[in-house]
Amino acid sequence: MLPIIDFVSPNIASADWKKRYSALIALGAITEGPDKVTFMNIIIPGIQNLINMFNDSNAKVREAIAWVVSRICEHHSDVIQHSQILPGLIPVIINALKDKPRVSNHICRAIENLAVSLAPKDDN
C-alpha cells in the first residue's frame, strides 16, 4: 500500500489533470484492502483536499473523485461518518448530483453504499 500512497501524494495536486485522475484511480483501487484504522489514518488528513476535488475543472477528475467516495462509502463508511467529515461532504455530494451523468451515477452509488452501511443489522 505504501507505494500507492507514494504515487498518490505528489500527483493528487498536480497541474496535469491526467496525474490527478491517475492518483484518484490508484487511491480508489486500494480502498478494499486495508483495515479500517489504517485506511482512516491515511485518508482523514487529506479528506478535505479530496472533497475540494469535486470542484475540479476536468470532468474526468470529478468522475474519479465521485468513484473514490463511492468506494470509501462501500468499504470504509466510518471515514465518511466521521463527525468532522460528513457535515462538509453532504452539500458537496448533493451538488455533485447535478454534475455530468457519469459523476452523478457514482454519487448515487456512494449514497446507496452509505445507506447500506448505516442500515440496522438484523439477523432475522
For every one of its 124 residues, what pLDDT tens digit does the chain have, with 9 covering 90 and above?
A: 678 888 999 999 999 999 999 999 999 999 988 888 888 888 888 888 999 999 999 999 999 999 999 999 998 888 887 777 888 889 999 999 999 999 999 999 999 998 888 777 776 6
DSSP 120: -
Q: How many of the other CB atoms lie within 10 Å of CB of 121?
A: 4
3-class secondary structure, 33 = coil
**Could you identify the residue written with the cell 490508484?**
26
User: Is 43 in contact with 35 (CB distance < 8 Å)?
Assistant: no
Q: Which CATH architecture has domain 2-118?
A: Alpha Horseshoe (1.25)
Q: Where are the domains of the chain?
A: 2-118
- What is the rounded distance in angstroms from the CA atom of residue 88 to the CA atom of residue 104? 18
Helix (H) or strand (E) holding 44: none
